[in-house]
Amino acid sequence: MVMLRCKYCGAPFEAKDVEANTPYITCRSCGTTQQRIDAKAYLDQVMDQVRSWVSSAMPGGFSMSQAENVDSIARHNIYVTNVRPRISAEITEYKFAANTLMTNPLFVMPFTTDNTAKPVHTSASAFEFDAKIKGLSPLAVDSNDRKELNTAEDLVKSYALMINNVKLLQEDKPGRYVLMSNNFSQASEMLSKSNEYAPMSKRFSALAHACNGCEKLLNGDPMGSISYLEKGVSGLKDVKDNLFSFPSLAIMYQGVERELSQVSAVADLVRSSSSNGGDPVKTLGALAKISSIQYPNVSNWTILRTKDRNSELFQHMSEALGARSGSGTMLIASGDGDYLFPFWDVDLRYSFVTGALWSKKSVEVAEDILIPGDFTIDSACLTNPASGVTDIFALRPETSILAGLRGSETSISGGEGIGAISETARPGNPGARKIIVPLSTKKEAEHLTENYLVQRTQSNSKLRLSKPYVKNLIYVPCKVSGSSVIIDGFGKLLPERIKRTDINKLIVL
Ligand SMILES: [Zn+2]
């Protein structure tokens, strides 16, 4: 039987598809449908290239068919003198490229894309090289040579399948998890034959489960998805924990770690939104909304373009859902309102010099500032950080000018009221209150505070600031009127951002 190859990605078609004998054939690796005659033409083209490459690897005047007829010692000699030197350099190159690709996460959450991984080969060239190795295998008579060649073939083929998966990470198209799962399963099975690649094989098997889970989820079966997602989580955890005993694959650590955090986030999300009779489809909608938000493009905020920030946002969302279902808690401040607004609680310490002449002294002050969790979508907060925080330095206590002369100043900020709000935050459940999902990460809150301090120290030379410490995320009860958010208790410290907030642009659970 003639095997066919996909003219788009180079993958060989599976026997059952070739036998079906329909005029059109769909690739199970990249998902493209093509005419059977095109797949046949592509196969012929590849085989021509392989044949001419193989004959160029032979000693002068020898053809493959001749080589197959000579005795095994002569074949072994051809392999050792002519073929191996030629092919081993290329195998090394492919091994290196495959290992490099494995440093990237090979999974994305539903509705998201990831284009960080940049394979140096196309899948077509990798599949073609795989065919070349196969073409040479009759010459490898020694069992060690044969084993070496088979292992290389499995790795190159797995690498080709992963190149196809990387392409699928970049495009949120329907059915991609089926294709990815298929590629992962195939690669896992091939690599399971060698001890050397055992962790890679296990990683792919875990990712195949995770992809099956996502596919079920997207098809409206969240309950059915959980066991697959959990298998993915435990498999990746196992790979991560045992990777240290495989130094040659330790390079995968970061990729596996990021896959684990993403698969866990999806699993948590599904578990917590289903457990309380919640609506996982709605949650998925929120998930989609989070990942499609366009953040402002401001020069010193490239941090908003980092890829793994989404997994932290999903984590916050999943914690909120967990608190609602009763399987966890969230920090809630006291106050009135049927909505809960997220704030980053930041511990800020500074010192300043007060008094004049002989009464000069340094005073240490600790303050809390609160940062609205949605500040990242507002370009005005990014360019003018004071509008994205409870701007304690804008309110210098009125008595301070005179007191400053006497050296009795105790603070040049006015944040006491804010500390009182954050101190009321206790672990609790939202009950029926609606939860506004934070759209910033802890690191971003820290970055905003640092920018704020730079902004304020430029206008107040007496200030000496230490590095701010972002403590945690707290939720402050608020009301919604029209599209505006109303929060009591902040007084004059209410961040400008809150006044600009449009509830319709936020994600509410
Ligand atoms: Zn294909």
Q: Are residues 241 and 307 in the same domain?
A: no
pLDDT score of 402 more than 70: no
CA of 56 to the centre of ligand 1 (A): 28
pLDDT at 434: 92
How far does the centroid of ligand 1 lie from the alpha carbon of residue 178, in Å? 13
Distance 5 CA to ligand 1 centre (A): 8
Tokens of 241: 């924990």
146, containing H or E segment: helix 143-169
CA 38 – ligand 1 centroid, Å: 12
Per the structure, how many domains does the chain have?
Answer: 2
In a domain, 8, yes or no: no
Q: What's the pLDDT at 388? A: 96
Q: How far away, in angstroms, is 43 Cα from ligand 1 center?
A: 12
Does residue 397 register a pLDDT over 70? no
Specify if 78 maps to a domain.
yes
34 exposure class (CB count in 10 Å sphere: 0-12, 13-18, 19+):
middle
Q: Are residues 240 and 384 in the same domain?
A: no
Whether 206 and 308 map to the same domain: the answer is: no
Q: pLDDT tens digit string along 274-294? A: 766 666 667 777 777 887 788
Whether 403 maps to a domain, the answer reads: yes
Rounded to the nearest angstrom, the distance between the alpha carbon of 173 and the centre of ligand 1 is: 15
How many angstroms does the Cα of residue 164 sit away from the middle of ligand 1?
8
One domain for residues 193 and 299 = no
List, for residues 80-135, the tens digit of each pLDDT value. 888 888 889 999 999 999 999 999 999 998 888 888 899 999 999 999 999 999 88
437 C-alpha to ligand 1 centroid (Å) = 39
Q: Please tell me the distance from the alpha carbon of residue 331 to that of residue 344, in angstroms, as a whole number.
A: 11
Same domain? 207 vs 324: no
The Å distance, Cα 225 to ligand 1 centre, comes to 27
Average confidence (pLDDT) over 301-315: 84
> Domain residues for 386?
293-505
Q: How far is the CA of 182 from the centre of ligand 1 (A)?
A: 12
303 lies in the same domain as 245 = no
- Kindly report the pTM of this predicted structure: 0.75
CA of 26 to the centre of ligand 1 (A): 8
- 9 in any annotated domain: no
Is the distance from CB of 258 to CB of 308 less than 8 angstroms? yes
Q: Which of 242, 273, 304 delimits the end of a domain?
A: 273
Ligand 1 center–CA 179 separation, angstroms? 10
How far apart are the C-alpha atoms of 114 and 399, rounded to whole Å? 55
Last residue of a domain, one of 273, 301, 325: 273
Same domain, 318 and 433: yes
Return the amino acid letter for 186: Q
Determine the Cα–Cα distance for residues 465 and 148; give it in Å rounded to an integer.
61
Among 273, 308, 343, the domain-final residue is 273
**Same domain membership, residue 151 and residue 67:** yes
29 found inside a domain? no
Q: 167 with 262, same domain?
A: yes
Whether residues 106 and 213 fall in one domain: yes
**Distance between Cα 422 and ligand 1 center (Å):** 55
pLDDT(308) > 80: no
- For residue range 425-441, list pLDDT tens digits in order: 999 999 889 999 999 99
Residues 210 and 302 in one domain: no
- Rounded Cα gap, residues 403 and 488, in angstroms: 31
166 C-alpha vs ligand 1 centroid, how far in Å?
Answer: 13
Predicted confidence (pLDDT) at residue 232 exceeds the cutoff of 80 = yes
336 shares its domain with 457? yes
**Does residue 109 contact residue 314 with C-beta atoms inside 8 Å?**
yes
Whether residue 238 lies inside any domain: the answer is: yes
As a whole number, mean pLDDT of residues 477-485 equals: 96
Domain contains 286: no
For the cut 60, the answer to whether the pLDDT of residue 260 exceeds it is yes
Q: Identify whether 488 is part of a domain.
A: yes
* Ligand 1 centroid to residue 7 C-alpha, Å: 7
